[in-house]
Amino acid sequence: MFDLGFSELMVIALVALIVIGPERLPRVARTLGHLAGRLQRYVADVKADISREVELDELKKMRDSMQNAASDMQSSVDAELHNTEAELNAAAEGKAEAAVSPAQETAPADDEKQKA
């Protein structure tokens, strides 16, 4: 984050010692340490929240795509089922007509035999 070398840290420590004084410097350093720890925890929490939000958005997109795929599959299965049902009904009607036709053909022949 910051590009500080050992010499820069020594200059900062020397200035802090002169400005704050040797009596209050340990207390200020401890307070700064606590504040730095809180800041790190806060930044980590914010990163975790952002990460959760991104994952949640990705999961929502995945759920929507799965729902779209499922509805597409459902509609294609329904259409194929409807087509198959129509074909079976047409085939059943064709067989029913074929079964009725021979009976109708024999009926007039029976009538002619009775007349004779």
Q: What is the 3-state secondary structure (H, E, C) of 40-87?
A: HHHHHHHHHHHHHHHHHHHHHHHHHHHHHHHHHHHHHHHHHHHHHHHH
**pTM value?**
0.50
Question: How large is the average pLDDT for residues 11-25?
Answer: 89
User: Exposed, middle or buried: residue 65 (CB in 10 Å: 0-12, 13-18, 19+)?
Assistant: exposed
pLDDT tens digits, 36-47 = 999 999 999 999
Four-residue CA torsion sign, 62, 64, 68, 73: positive
Per-residue pLDDT reduced to its tens digit, 72-95: 999 999 999 999 999 999 888 888
